[in-house]
Chain A
């Protein structure tokens, strides 16, 4: 169970970072 949670958390972190990067790009463009 902990292994699965570690994987989910790592992927969620990646998604969050991509979203923040996109937000930064949007703010810069806007």
Chain B
């Protein structure tokens, strides 16, 4: 099957999982209806709860299910769906309040039965999860603390929703409906256990050692890791990324996604090149050789190995060069003779990460390199400013429509370049992107 067919299949599986509670409701024998709006409201509540439950599956990093899309986009999907689920969940009580204002008393915990208060608390927890995720940076929340709060609030929201459904006990009262509902809930719990217990336990048994920490241009650091007592990552394709845990247990939820900047190597050696952008990344320079690290990966669909072509174009903004170096190094190691183009966008000449390493690869590869600078040095005759369609048009090869393009960098740059390439006749299917600004 092609990735497109697999992609369609997994979307169907997702829809089936979300719609499952509604089908359980519909199967006879069904208790008497409560009127259109009440039943509609209840169905929205069930579906919203199911969407929240399946949210755990979306971020469970199932390799096979995420492979057709790239796991980065699954996280964005998870974010958009949370908003959709919240709309359904908030609509559930709202419709009831409008239809029958007597229900407004349920908002008062002193008057309401406990399961109604649980429902209200669930809605508030969901809104809190979404607000802290969409506005983490403006709210000044530290990433690691946010992640712990995110998991705890999300679990609390779903548990409270289940308490609410159990307490109301209307549409799931029939014994076998209850059994089906329990199976659905058990699948959510199973996924949660896999992600939070089984996977960290596996990581604990496959540690890495920090072999070296090197400073790079552009406030970036390369961490070199070697597997400790195991062969390393299985089936790592150049350009992929992994979640890295440093100075913490894999159970501590203190992991961060980074592109691997080295090519697949014998012995499982890995390099991550990380720019100082936040609280965690600013501590990379303090890591010492010999420290333990845990690597959950590889993930992502961002690799030239998935897209055969007569030549590749790599377009990197700032630290977006990291996965490109992995691919270029792999191509060099394979003795590749196809023509390739690397375009980098940076603020200043001295801040181009991997500048020397990329130029050194020109001795092994048919590689042309174009640098674009926002603040060029005096006498600079290269590209100045953004990668506009005009700039791209000037530097892209004549056979541009048959090349495959890899874009990594700030989201605004990726979107602009993707649009520019499309207007220059590059089919959208040939532009591949990696997005890291998840939360």
Q: A9-B11, A13-B84 are in contact. Are A25 and B43 (CB under 8 A)?
A: yes
Q: Tell me if B15 counts as interface (CB < 8 A to partner A).
A: yes
A-B contact count (CB 8 A): 87
- Per the CB 8 Å criterion, the residue count for chain A at the interface is 23
Residue of B nearest to A29 (CB): B36
Check B73–A2 contact: CB distance below 8 A: yes
Residues in chain B near residue A18, CB distance under 8 A: 44, 88
How close is A16's CB to chain B, nearest CB, in angstroms? 7
CA–CA, A24 and B428, complex, Å: 39
Partner among B22, B39, B81 whose Cβ is within 8 Å of the Cβ of A13: B81
Q: A16-B15, A20-B43 are in contact. Are A6 and B73 (CB under 8 A)?
A: yes
Check B33–A29 contact: CB distance below 8 A: yes
Q: Tell me if B122 counts as interface (CB < 8 A to partner A).
A: no
Residue of A nearest to B32 (CB): A28
Most buried by B among A2, A6, A7, A22: A2
Check B33–A21 contact: CB distance below 8 A: no
How close is B27's CB to chain A, nearest CB, in angstroms? 11
Residues in chain A near residue B51, CB distance under 8 A: 13, 17
Check B84–A10 contact: CB distance below 8 A: yes
Check B76–A24 contact: CB distance below 8 A: no
Q: A13-B15, A17-B47, A17-B51 are in contact. Are A24 and B418 (CB under 8 A)?
A: no
Residues in chain A near residue B18, CB distance under 8 A: 13, 17
Q: Is the interface of A mostly helix, strand, loop or mixed?
A: helix
Question: CB-defined interface of B19-41 with A at 8 Å, one 1/0 digit per residue?
Answer: 10010011000100111110110
Q: Is the interface of B mostly helix, strand, loop or mixed?
A: helix
Residues in chain B near residue A27, CB distance under 8 A: 26
Check A20–B33 contact: CB distance below 8 A: no
- Per the CB 8 Å criterion, the residue count for chain B at the interface is 38
Q: Tell me if B128 counts as interface (CB < 8 A to partner A).
A: no
Most buried by B among A7, A9, A18, A21: A21
Residues in chain B near residue A25, CB distance under 8 A: 33, 36-37, 39-40, 43
Q: A1-B418, A2-B433 are in contact. Are A9 and B77 (CB under 8 A)?
A: yes
Question: CB-defined interface of B68-95 with A at 8 Å, one 1/0 digit per residue?
Answer: 0110010011001101100110000000
Q: Tell me if B303 counts as interface (CB < 8 A to partner A).
A: no
How close is A26's CB to chain B, nearest CB, in angstroms? 7
Check A24–B43 contact: CB distance below 8 A: yes
Partner among B15, B26, B81, B83 whose Cβ is within 8 Å of the Cβ of A24: B26
Check A6–B22 contact: CB distance below 8 A: no
Residues in chain B near residue A17, CB distance under 8 A: 18-19, 22, 44, 47, 51, 84, 88
Q: Tell me if B396 counts as interface (CB < 8 A to partner A).
A: no
Residue of B nearest to A22 (CB): B40
Residues in chain A near residue B25, CB distance under 8 A: 24
Interface, chain A (partner B; CB < 8 A): 1-3, 5-7, 9-11, 13-14, 16-18, 20-22, 24-29
18 contacts between A and B (CB under 8 A): A1-B433, A2-B73, A2-B433, A3-B415, A5-B73, A6-B73, A11-B80, A11-B84, A16-B15, A17-B44, A21-B88, A22-B40, A24-B22, A24-B25, A25-B36, A26-B36, A27-B26, A29-B39
- Known pairs A1-B428, A3-B73, A9-B11 / 13 extra A-B pairs, C-beta < 8 Å: A1-B433, A9-B80, A10-B77, A10-B80, A13-B81, A17-B19, A17-B88, A18-B44, A20-B19, A21-B43, A21-B88, A25-B43, A27-B26
